[in-house]
Amino acid sequence: MSTTYDRAHELSHLSIHLDAQQMIERARAEGIETVWDRLRAQEPQCGYCQLGLSCRNCSMGPCRIDPFGEGPQKGVCGADGDTIVARNLGRTITGGASSHSDHGRDILEVFARVANGEASGYQIADEAKLRRIADELGLVSEGRDTNEVARDLAKELMENYGIAKNSLSFIGRVPQVRRDRWKELGITPRGIDRENVEMMHRTHMGVDNDYVNILLHALRTALSDGWGGSMIATELSDIMFGTPQPVTSEVNLGVLKLDQVNIAMHGHNPLLSDVIVAAAQDPALVELARSYGANGINVVGLCCTGNEMLMRKGVPMAGNHLMQELVMVTGALEAMVVDYQCIMPSVVDVAKCYHTQVISTSDKAKFPGATHMSFDPQRGEEIAHDIVRAAVEAFPNRNQDRVRIPVSPVRMMGGFSVEAILAALGGTAQPLIDAIAAGSIRGAVAVVGCNNPKLPQDREHIELTRTLIEHDILVLVTGCAAIANGKAGQMMPESAALAGPGLRALCEALGVPPVLHMGSCVDNSRVVQLAGALANAMGVDIDSLPLAGAAPEWYSEKAVAIGTYVVGSGITTVLGVQPPIFGSPHVVSLLADGLDAVVGAKFAVEPDPYKAALLIRRHIEAKRAALGLPFIADDQIHDDEAASRVTTTAGSARV
């Protein structure tokens, strides 16, 4: 018979947060299946796939390579393990890069309609940024009408997707020395769609069979995402919805309101969420909610649509990837409005156990069982009103006896665009460079990416980040990693108390947290942009800087694309979940070692957050030494204290 202790112990291996643990228990009690149940049902998962050694690229297969050398060493076509692993990785990166870049294209198309006066509910929110980017790209902005400038910018950026331009508009942000290196390697991205389509072509049977050649093109494909599709998504979202500025909000399931209509916006694209937030404040809809006995309409975020809303409008955040089913188990959610990416098909099944409406909005992302309300930017405002009305009309179906909102929310700060960071520093990056040079800040690390049910939710994010800031390393967060750190109370100016003395002093002087929320997954483009700007200011390449990346709990193809463009840009990155490449020692050796010689950065895999922190600290100190900055010698870097620390249980933490 399982004791209370056993149960608590088992739950703590699923998530470190109290809100998640309580909702998992409740789901179990009510017979509702969640992601953790389905993972268990899939185990043991296929070892060939985990090693990257299975291929189903054609119908002569599927084929598998025996990792022990006793069975087949070639697929039916003759492809060996190196080719198969590299092809699989190339296609994974293409899946991620295409997702970000198609998101960027959707934003760009609406931006073009705004410029042509054809969209309802949208405008240019940051005209100064529009003109600044137009000038940066060599378009004439002075003395011209805003919409004319926007039309020119839209045309310029549309050409990034095709082959006519043969380069990316934002490539000028990359330090010249790195551009030269890319050119030498033949990995300069030429066009977003071109690189993605070429990767699919190369990985067809009988095209590219050289694992090195395949992986070099994978780098180019990923770079077309980071400096192309994702950067377009970020910059145009800023122009249309406002460039984020520091803003305080709240996070965890406690942001749901017992007495209000609750609407969760889930997915990635800010196009619809922005007009929904406005519609939820419409007095007529608020009055309708009151007529049903609710005290208002409460819009909350999930995953990266949530990050987009939090960054620009301070909209509260219900949770990250693994909270999407659990938010409905509260019994307090009237509608989950989804766009695309990272939305589990299972949300429709969980919703059926409650009164929750799942409303899909993108014609390219339909969910059987959901209500589809097709998003059309020409009728953005009207559709947003229809969606909010549908949520309000679900409120009378709520069974208040089943409602359980488990915890109180935790405060978190977001809004650290590159512009906001520079503004906090007084207008230039120089104070940050000075602090790094003096050693009061050792360096900076981008902790990004997802949750993965194979790991205790958020533990790796939180422990890695906490250990880094304790050692005076500034942490930049995006995506689900940002939400994890927010829930742990590590993202308020007061959280500077958790940092080492140098980082603490800088954060207190500037009034910022030691963990800066830079936005959604596409906003990792802000991270590489900032790295490029720092490198340019210091007159070095990005790989010389004391920087690193980490994706401790990644699950998504997009995270692989991000990690790859971050490494291709010169920033060594540590993964917490093993990628499916270990079937090829050659591919592992190239990614974990050989890449360093060509792009000045590489991948590492380390699931233990303390060991990952140690690895990152050593890397940062080595970069400092190479720059001639004061450094800590390798044998003096210890982490005994952190290694013995017990896991944070942050669900009800308050700052």
> What residue ranges bind ligand SF4 (CB under 6 A)?
55-58, 60-63, 75-77, 79, 84, 205, 303-304, 320-321, 342, 449-450, 479-480, 521, 556, 558-559
Dihedrals phi, psi of 299, to nearest 5 degrees: -95, 130
What DSSP character marks residue 395?
A: G
* Nearest to ligand SF4 of 84, 300 (CB atom): 84
Report in angstroms how near the CB of residue 60 gets to ligand SF4 at its nearest.
4
The helix (H) or strand (E) run that includes residue 102 is helix 81-115
Report in angstroms how near the CB of residue 84 gets to ligand SF4 at its nearest.
6
The alpha-carbon radius of gyration of the chain (Å, integer) is 24
Report in angstroms how near the CB of residue 36 gets to ligand SF4 at its nearest.
16
| Helices H / strands E in the chain, number of each | 28, 16
Report in angstroms how near the CB of residue 212 gets to ligand SF4 at its nearest.
19
Report in angstroms how near the CB of residue 205 gets to ligand SF4 at its nearest.
4
Q: How far apart are CA 531 and CA 414, in angstroms?
A: 19
* Nearest to ligand SF4 of 255, 286 (CB atom): 255
Alpha helices, DSSP H, located in 225-345: 230-241, 270-279, 283-291, 303-313, 326-329
What dihedral do alpha carbons 425, 429, 434, 437 form, nearest 10°? 130
Report in angstroms how near the CB of residue 77 gets to ligand SF4 at its nearest.
3
Report in angstroms how near the CB of residue 402 gets to ligand SF4 at its nearest.
28
| Residue among 66, 47, 158 at smallest CA distance from 104 | 158
Close Cβ partners of 70 (under 8 Å, ≥ 6 residues apart): none
User: Which pair of structure tokens corresponds to residue 109?
Assistant: 């198309």
* Nearest to ligand SF4 of 328, 559 (CB atom): 559
* Nearest to ligand SF4 of 134, 581 (CB atom): 581
Measure CA of the first residue to CA of the last residue in the chain; give whole Å.
38
* Nearest to ligand SF4 of 150, 650 (CB atom): 650
* Nearest to ligand SF4 of 107, 134 (CB atom): 107
Cα separation values, 496 from 244, 506, 602, Å: 21, 9, 30
* Nearest to ligand SF4 of 512, 577 (CB atom): 577
* Nearest to ligand SF4 of 294, 481 (CB atom): 481
* Nearest to ligand SF4 of 79, 601 (CB atom): 79
Report in angstroms how near the CB of residue 631 gets to ligand SF4 at its nearest.
32
Report in angstroms how near the CB of residue 511 gets to ligand SF4 at its nearest.
27
| Residue among 478, 482, 514 at smallest CA distance from 495 | 514
Q: How far apart are CA 117 and CA 377, in angstroms?
A: 11
Close Cβ partners of 176 (under 8 Å, ≥ 6 residues apart): none
